[in-house]
Amino acid sequence: MMPKHDQVITDAVLSEAAEWFATLEDESVTEEQRDNWLNWLNQSSEHQLAWQQIKDITTSFDGIKQDAISKHVVRGELSRPFFSNKTSILSLLLVGIVSVMSIYLLSPFPSSHNLTTYQTAVGESQAITLDDGSRLWLNTNTTVTTNFSDDVRLFSLQQGEIFIETGADKAHHHRSLIVKTKDGQLTALGTRFNVHQTSSETQLDVFEGAVRIEPTKSELDYVIVAGNQSHFDQHAILSSGNQAAVNNESWTKGIVTADDTPLCDFMHNLERYQTQSIVCPNELNQYTLVGTYPLKQPEAIFTAIENSLPVQIWQVTDSVWRVDKRQ
């Protein structure tokens, strides 16, 4: 990967650097041309940085003796050139490289210097107010990296679940806010939304505004508006049009919500917040739950469930709980 720098290099200057490199590699180069190159190099730090970038990318080509070139550059002179009659070839080659590199360097995505990683363990949650005024919540067992530039606010979700309430971002003229998961890219359109990444898909719940979904391996994009939920993977939208789940916002307040939720579905969701596993036979899904429960008090939840349904919840081992129908 090519290195990034804080200073932006224009495409024109990168092209000039590529041309100078080709000129100096031509065996017909004159002393006057070498002097002109040195004058160009010393005109600005942008020229020096562009020259360094050209040297960096040429190290990937066999046959270029980069160490020797570097030594000559330090002394401000080039003795015997390394290429013969290759100026036109090098020019074409380096112009192509510069075009690709310009896209990389001038990309709206921020550099690695701005990375900040947030992480929660199982059972933990975290609320953060970011510099742009946005609010970010991390649910249990979540890792997300933020990377802000002058043009974009990027959130890379490695695992888990996040809730975002976008800020006004007035100081930077409303930069785009983008969330990336392994399945694709989500662009916020003035919104409050929840993103949950699992091993097989990404789930989006939009509570305000709208969010555009772009699956990684699809040429189509989809806009999900407030009040709706969508599931997608790298190839396509798997489902959409379902109502946004209240529980996918209530966790930010430290509570888990059941809205006529099948018992085992509720228990499996609760299991995400525990270091212990919860065994719940599927036949118990005939029972449903309604209500709100405190996430930090799992045993209080178990007691409340036992008081409302004909089941018993007991601890099998230090690491396993089990739900059974009450005898």
pLDDT at 138 over 90: yes
**Three-class SS of residue 57?**
helix
Residues 209/189, Cβ–Cβ less than 8 Å: yes
Domain that holds residue 237: 112-247
Instruction: Report residue 55 as tokens.
Output: 């040297």
Residue type, 45: S
Nearest one of 52, 53, 37, 184 to 106, comparing CA atoms: 53
Residues of the chain by 3-state class (helix, strand, coil), percent to 5? 35, 35, 35
Nearest one of 256, 284, 254, 275 to 321, comparing CA atoms: 275
Pair 98, 170 in one domain? no
pLDDT at 74 over 70: no
| pLDDT tens-digit readout, 224-269 | 999 999 999 999 999 988 899 888 999 999 999 999 999 999 999 9
Residues 66/58, Cβ–Cβ less than 8 Å: yes
Pair 155, 210 in one domain? yes
315 lies in a domain? yes
Residue whose tokens read 């939009």: 206
Contacts of 292 (CB under 8 A, 6+ apart): 250, 255, 256, 257, 258
The phi and psi torsions of 24 (rounded to 5 degrees) equal -70, -20
How confident is residue 115, by pLDDT bands cut at 50, 70 and 90?
A: confident
Pair 18, 51 in one domain? yes
CATH of the domain at 294: 3.55.50.30
84 lies in a domain? yes
Number of domains into which the chain is organized: 3
Residues 37/20, Cβ–Cβ less than 8 Å: yes
Pair 27, 53 in one domain? yes
pTM recorded for the entire structure: 0.66
Pair 83, 149 in one domain? no
Pair 238, 264 in one domain? no
In angstroms, the CA 138 to CA 163 distance is: 7
| pLDDT tens-digit readout, 39-53 | 888 888 778 877 777
pLDDT for the residue numbered 62: 41
The phi and psi torsions of 234 (rounded to 5 degrees) equal -65, -20
pLDDT for the residue numbered 170: 76
